[in-house]
Structure 1
């Protein structure tokens, strides 16, 4: 695999990653509904099982081959991290408003910036740091708005679970970048769903219950949305450094506000809108920066 400078801006990877986050946000709303209806464990287990079946057919149909040992190691690590991240996040999301849950998860991109420097040896630009700090300030404004509401002890437990999930998700962002440089999007999406399914399968004899017929459509929709999001994000992270794409995560809040209001009738407070505007401004500011040289992965993808 050769290395050369990429002369194009990060505009296209940024837009593709934004689309991936949009799909992921809709999936969050579907999963919140499923977590309330059938429990967080069953929502995640059946969604990933459906995703593994769908992704496996697509991967094999495209001529997929078993990955090399080092690549498989990355798949396994990310799958295990994602399993813990998912159960904490969706358990918590069933106990807090959608917008608040997504806002709490926004600590992950901020942590990911510095993990990118530590693990990937990326040079962190002042623009990227400023954008993430400004975006995180927007998150604090949102949390101030949410603090005005009396949500009770269950919401506190849910918030703590989501913060724990965010710690795992920060590392997941870095793994996404590493994984995208050595594997095709179809392979990534399939192994992600398959490995998470295997992790959750260990508890299936004690916790698994087949979803009722009226929830099967939600399970299938969640699987397709998650698969599509993984494909888009894998494509984007193969073409731009994690530090430049991390602020894209903040756009999830805009979707959370809309879906929370439309699907779950959750109110939107004025400070929440102010925080969202700060997040959008941070993302636009970060998107103007051109990336450093990256690996030429076009032949692999």
Structure 2
């Protein structure tokens, strides 16, 4: 999980290195397009796949939600500090918990409601509306977390019928196709160095997901969950050292409040053996 977290921070760092030279939609498209090389070993399984109409619809809906989320995430990365992107991304499990009530029929106990309220308070602490000028990147991150939550909930449904590996491969393909028209609308020819950065982004993302799967297979969520929050620490350190981003105590405090809320919900669901909330950033990229 430590390696996984470092890989996901590597994703954010490499995107930040683009400095907006490549539009957000195009950056996202190229990241997914270059990442398709890692699906080559699965080609036989994909060509022999037979899916029902319902599975196709769910996969398409998931791809659409992930597409919008990824565009918003790449846009936010070009606008706001690393620490704020990382902290606000932890809202995804909170959105999942709320949506699960309407989509999966989950029931919200009082403790979980209080944890959700606390997490939203943490988000307000980060954003501080009325006390500072909000950037469009902040609103983009709110949309990112929402879209990733929708993607995760659909994944929970579809992986009951398809293997996680196939579901992930279908997501990569559908997002690549979904991003293509958005990328075409703002296309600029990237330099070779920018392409190398985006290839590194794809590699970090694939490595992060693979390391996470290994961790989940070998340890319970109560062990893996706390480690995911080291990403906030890495983001703060890297943002300060390499991008001259000042450490904002409100962002740190708000991030810790959200982290505490997510941790409480996850541990509570693990004890009840009915966990729906994702254990951190497994909905990303």
TM-score normalised according to structure 2 size? 0.75
Q: Secondary structure at the match of 1:38?
A: coil
Point out the more displaced range, 190-199 or 95-104: 95-104
Q: Does residue 145 of structure 2 align to residue 166 of structure 1?
A: yes
Instruction: For residue 159 of structure 1, report the CA deviation from its aligned partner.
Output: 2.1
The residue number in structure 1 matching 2:135 is: 156
CA contact (8 A) 1:141 1:274 kept: yes
Which residue does 1:213 correspond to in 2?
192
Tell me whether 1:34 sits opposite 2:13 in the alignment.
no
Gaps of 5+ in 2: 218-223, 276-285
Which position in structure 2 is the counterpart of 1:138?
A: 122
Write out per-residue CA displacement over residues 89-132 of structure 1, whole angstroms, 9 at most, x where no aligned residue.
22132112222234444444322212111111223344444434
Higher mean C-alpha displacement, 186-195 vs 200-209: 200-209
Instruction: Supply the distance in 2 between the matched residues of 1:249 and 1:133 (Cα, whole angstroms).
Output: 22
CA distance in 2, matches of 1:63, 1:167: 29
Question: Offset at 1:236?
Answer: 8.7
Partners of 1:249 and 1:168 lie apart in 2 by 20
CA drift of 1:266 comes to 0.7
Within the candidate set 209, 221, 224, 2:203 is matched to 224
Structure 2 vs 1, CA of residues 249 and 137 (structure 1 numbering), >3 Å: closer, same or farther?
A: farther
Matched, 1:58 2:37: no
Q: Distance in 1 between matches of 2:227 and 2:108?
A: 16
Aligned counterpart in structure 2 of residue 116 of structure 1, from 100, 103, 114: 100
Question: 2:257 aligns to what?
Answer: 278
TM-superposed deviation, 1:184? 2.3
The CA RMSD over aligned residues, in Å, is: 3.7
CA contact (8 A) 1:21 1:251 kept: yes
Q: CA deviation at 1:53?
A: 2.6
Q: Gapped runs of 5+ residues in structure 1?
A: 1-15, 239-244, 295-301
* CA-CA distance at 1:178 after TM superposition: 1.9
* Mapped partners of 1:53, 1:253: distance in 2: 29
CA deviations over 1:173-223 (Å, ceiling 9, x no partner): 312322333332322232222111111222454433443121233211211
Q: Structure 2 vs 1, CA of residues 51 and 163 (structure 1 numbering), >3 Å: closer, same or farther?
A: same
- Alpha-carbon distance in structure 2 between the residues aligned to 1:234 and 1:78: 20
Distance 1:72 1:230 in 2: 23
CA distance in 1, matches of 2:5, 2:244: 22
Pair 1:184-2:154 in alignment: no
Shift of 1:252: 4.8
1:104–1:139: 8 Å Cα contact kept in structure 2? Answer: yes
1:292 aligns with 2:276: no
Cα distance, 1:267 vs. partner? 0.8
Question: SS of 2:247's equivalent?
Answer: coil
| Structure 1 partner of 2:279 | none
Q: Distance in 2 between matches of 1:36 and 1:260?
A: 16
Distance in 2 between residues matched to 1:124 and 1:288, nearest whole Å:
15
Contact 1:97 1:260 in 2 (8 A): yes
Decide whether aligned partners of structure 1 residues 122 and 197 sit closer, same or farther in structure 2, where only a CA change above 3 A counts: same
Please list the CA deviations of residues 222-269 of structure 1 after superposition, one character each: whole Å capped at 9, or x if unmatched: 11222344456678999xxxxxx9999876544432332233221112
In the alignment, the residues of structure 2 paired with residue 119 and residue 237 of structure 1 have an alpha-carbon distance, to the nearest angstrom, of 25
